[in-house]
Amino acid sequence: MLPKRKVLPVMIDVGTNTEKLLKDPLYLGLQEHRLDGDEYVAVIDEFMNAVFTRWPNVIVQFLLVGCALYFLFILFSAIFFNYMKSFPASIVRRK
């Protein structure tokens, strides 16, 4: 188990496609249409490269929130596999 003092939660807000939220002035999230495809990959790439440049042995845990579409899961799985090869320190295997 990791000590809580060594954990930094990060949330990457890539927008929403919920029209009600896009029009709500009280909505705290990014009020733009959700990034997808190459734009989404570019944001995640930039984050991963910055984090591993600063902390080479960091552990990154991905959590998809609100992802209801299966094709996004497939896209995310392909991206994660790419990071497994690029940043092997980020992979934690359970026994």
Q: What is the pLDDT of residue 26?
A: 96
Q: What's the predicted TM-score (pTM) here?
A: 0.64
95 assigned to some structural domain: no
Evaluate whether residue 39 is within a structural domain.
yes
For residue 95, count CB atoms less than 10 angstroms from its CB and return exposed for 0-12, middle for 13-18, buried for 19 or more: exposed
**39 contacts 32 by C-beta, under 8 angstroms:** no
Q: How far is 64 from 72, CA to CA, in rounded Å? A: 10
**What is the reported pLDDT for 9?**
84
Structural domain span for residue 80: 4-90
Total number of domains in the chain? 1
In this structure, is residue 61 part of a structural domain?
yes
Helix (H) or strand (E) holding 45: helix 37-54
Is 57 a domain residue?
Answer: yes
From first to last of its 95 residues, what are the pLDDT tens digits of the chain? 778 887 888 888 889 999 999 999 999 999 999 988 888 888 888 888 898 889 887 877 766 655 554 445 555 565 666 666 666 554 444 43
Is residue 44 domain-resident? yes
Amino acid at 45: D
Q: Does residue 82 form part of some domain?
A: yes
Residue 93's pLDDT is what? 43
What was the pLDDT predicted at 87? 62
